[in-house]
Amino acid sequence: MEITTTDMGLVARVQNLTKSYGRAAGEVVALRDVTLGIRRGEFTAIMGPSGSGKSTLMHIMAGLDSPTGGRVWLGDAEMGAMGDSQLTLLRRRRVGFVFQSFNLVPTLDVAGNILLPFELDGRRPTDQEQAWIAQLQQALGLESRLRHRPHELSGGQQQRVAIARALATRPELVFADEPTGNLDSRTGREVLGLLSTASREYGQSIAMVTHDPVAASYADRILFLADGIVVDDRPRQSAEEISRTMLAMESAA
């Protein structure tokens, strides 16, 4: 019998994953035979310079893009076998997203954005979920802004709303794509602190793609990607150590 993702203590994994764009002479390989797992309850950073394939990896793990070869699991469900409607349900119920920008639906207010994943399912949050959402709103300091629309909020506030929305359904895995890319450094640190708290206190599994060593230093584990392969896998490190690793990768290349 095959060992399942859960048995390995993982929330998601990929095996021999390959992704290439274009054909023949113009072919660009984004990922080459990548095998890795994201551990349950951990805050994992996926680091790499531009063009390392980190975003592609995240898109495929989140069911937003399809692999050229290899297998992908979220929990024990293999995504290769899923059609568009199953992937839609998976995104709606089992993963959360925090993007670099344009995170929120501009026509909905803060409360509407946070509740959107439930409404898409055609249901109201249960009492337990209500309590959880209220707790999140308080922890993220959004209580006084529930009736505001995204354009009335600062970038940092918008990102907090996005985090609240991503955590609201208690998804198995939250994907964060350069979540601090559009924020000033102080606001960025706050957002990173919130993500790491979510993982430490609520046991939320988070996979964050970034090229910023400071952002990666908030993670429990750091995976380094370069030219479409995993080149290193480290436990928590300081921003200085991460920068050194990155520089070493540059000079090795």
Question: Between residues 225 and 245, which has the closer beta carbon with respect to other proteins?
Answer: 225
The CB-of-20 to other proteins minimum distance in angstroms stands at 16
The CB-of-24 to other proteins minimum distance in angstroms stands at 23
Beta bridge partners of residue 222, listed in sequence order: 45, 234
The CB-of-182 to other proteins minimum distance in angstroms stands at 5
Question: Between residues 62 and 230, which has the closer beta carbon with respect to other proteins?
Answer: 62
**CB half-sphere exposure, 192, CA atoms < 13 A:** 25
The two three-digit tokens of residue 184, written as one number: 């000033």
**246 neighbors 223 (Cβ within 8 angstroms):** no
The two three-digit tokens of residue 94, written as one number: 């089992």
Question: Between residues 63 and 228, which has the closer beta carbon with respect to other proteins?
Answer: 63
3-state helix, strand, coil in the chain (%, to 5): 40, 25, 35
The CB-of-3 to other proteins minimum distance in angstroms stands at 29
The CB-of-106 to other proteins minimum distance in angstroms stands at 5
For helices 155-168 and 110-120, what crossing angle results, to 10°?
Answer: 30
Q: Which of 231, 236, 178, 207 is nearest to 13 (CA)?
A: 207
Question: Between residues 23 and 151, which has the closer beta carbon with respect to other proteins?
Answer: 151
Question: Between residues 76 and 152, which has the closer beta carbon with respect to other proteins?
Answer: 152
The CB-of-75 to other proteins minimum distance in angstroms stands at 16
Question: Between residues 24 and 186, which has the closer beta carbon with respect to other proteins?
Answer: 186
**What are the φ/ψ torsions at residue 129 (nearest 5 degrees)?**
-65, -35
The span from the CA of 212 to the CA of 246, in Å, is 10
- Can you tell me whether residue 95 is helix, strand or coil? strand
Residue ranges in contact with other proteins by CB under 8 A: 55, 59, 62, 64-65, 84-85, 88-89, 91-93, 97, 99-103, 105-108, 112, 116-117, 119-122, 149-152, 155, 165, 177-178, 181-182
